[in-house]
């Protein structure tokens, strides 16, 4: 968890590049960002959208525009009840040229939008996307936290990819794999008649892990992960951990 924010930024970039390598010429992928305000030390988040945005006019004089009849009220200075830390998380949009139409959105789920108040905010964003003619692809590589709720129980797995096509609502394709299986390719639907594309999610993960030098940071002798593994999976992970030798 201590490294997730750094990993999330790097991995989103790697996924975007892997998708770009397979997109037809009339599409492109771009990284968008949303700013969350998170209580320090807590996986609780809230998406902030301003009611009023004040911008700077580069051609303006800069002179104040207070009306003649306006009154100025002196403030009383108080402290905010709870300090909040800004957290920026990325997502990927697939756009089609030349109308710049958003065709697909790819989300990499994080602790901030799987748990606490942040989950409610993410579900609201998800519902908004599902009401639009946009494909939604969600990647859940976190064993902790509640899974997305669909009309029936999810297939057995440790990690999931959810693909909701704009022209197949309310159906959702669920791809599941276990801890011991290689990471499958990422399915990204485009706008018909253009065919789906497949991006190498496993290669993007490996590239992110190596470039971030996480093998040097992570303690493979630490206690079992949370949630803990059990049975054969726990023994398999312990064997893999013993075989890991960090590079000098």
Residue 179: the pLDDT is 92
Q: Which has the closest alpha carbon to 110: 178, 45, 164, 21?
A: 45
Q: Is the pLDDT of residue 66 over 90?
A: no
* Per-residue pLDDT tens over the stretch 152-185: 999 999 999 999 999 999 999 999 999 999 999 9
Contact, 154 vs 147, CB < 8 A? Answer: yes
Residue 43: the pLDDT is 45
Averaged pLDDT for residues 30-42: 64
Q: What is the mean pLDDT of the chain?
A: 81
Range of lowest pLDDT (13-22, 66-75, 200-209, 211-220): 66-75
Instruction: Report how far apart, in Å, the C-alpha atoms of 126 and of each of 11, 13, 233, 237, 244 are.
Output: 21, 21, 32, 34, 38
Beta strand spans in the chain (E): 27-38, 85-96, 101-108, 135-140, 159-164, 173-177, 186-188, 197-199
Q: Percent of the chain scored above 90 by pLDDT?
A: 48
Give the C-alpha separation, 248 to 81, whole Å.
46
Prediction pTM value: 0.77
Residue 120: the pLDDT is 81
Judged by DSSP in three states, 82 sits in coil
Range of lowest pLDDT (36-40, 140-144, 158-162, 224-228): 36-40
Q: Is the pLDDT of residue 63 over 80?
A: no
Which single residue is written with the structure tokens 């639907």? 189
On the CB side of 60, how many CA atoms lie within 13 Å of its CA? 7
Give the model's confidence band at 45: pLDDT under 50 very low, under 70 low, under 90 confident, else very high. very low
Q: Is the pLDDT of residue 136 over 50?
A: yes
Give the C-alpha separation, 80 to 48, whole Å.
17
- Lookup: tokens for 196: 């789906």
Give the model's confidence band at 41: pLDDT under 50 very low, under 70 low, under 90 confident, else very high. low
Give the C-alpha separation, 200 to 64, whole Å.
54
């Amino acid at each position: 968890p201590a490294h997730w924010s750094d990993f999330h930024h790097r991995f989103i970039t790697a996924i975007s590049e892997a998708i770009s390598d397979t997109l037809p010429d009339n599409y492109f992928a771009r990284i968008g960002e949303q700013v969350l305000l998170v209580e320090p030390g807590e996986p609780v988040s809230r998406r902030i959208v301003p009611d009023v945005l004040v911008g700077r006019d580069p051609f303006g004089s800069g002179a104040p525009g207070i009306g003649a009849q306006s009154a100025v009220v002196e403030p009383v200075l108080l402290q905010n009840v709870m300090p909040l830390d800004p957290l920026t998380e990325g997502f990927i949009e697939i756009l089609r040229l030349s109308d710049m139409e958003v065709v697909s959105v790819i989300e990499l789920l994080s602790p901030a939008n799987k748990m606490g108040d942040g989950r409610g905010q993410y579900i609201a964003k998800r519902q908004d996307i599902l009401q639009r003619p946009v494909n939604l692809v969600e990647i859940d590589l976190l064993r902790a936290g509640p899974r997305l709720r669909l009309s029936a129980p999810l297939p057995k797995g440790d990690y999931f990819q959810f693909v909701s096509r704009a022209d197949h609502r309310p159906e959702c394709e669920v791809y599941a794999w276990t801890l011991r299986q290689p990471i499958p390719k990422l399915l990204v639907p485009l706008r018909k008649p253009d065919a789906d594309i497949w991006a190498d999610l496993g290669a993007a993960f490996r590239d992110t892990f190596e470039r971030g030098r996480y093998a040097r940071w992570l303690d493979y002798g630490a206690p079992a992960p949370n949630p803990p593994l059990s049975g054969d999976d726990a023994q398999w992970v312990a064997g893999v951990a013993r075989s890991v030798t960090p590079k000098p």
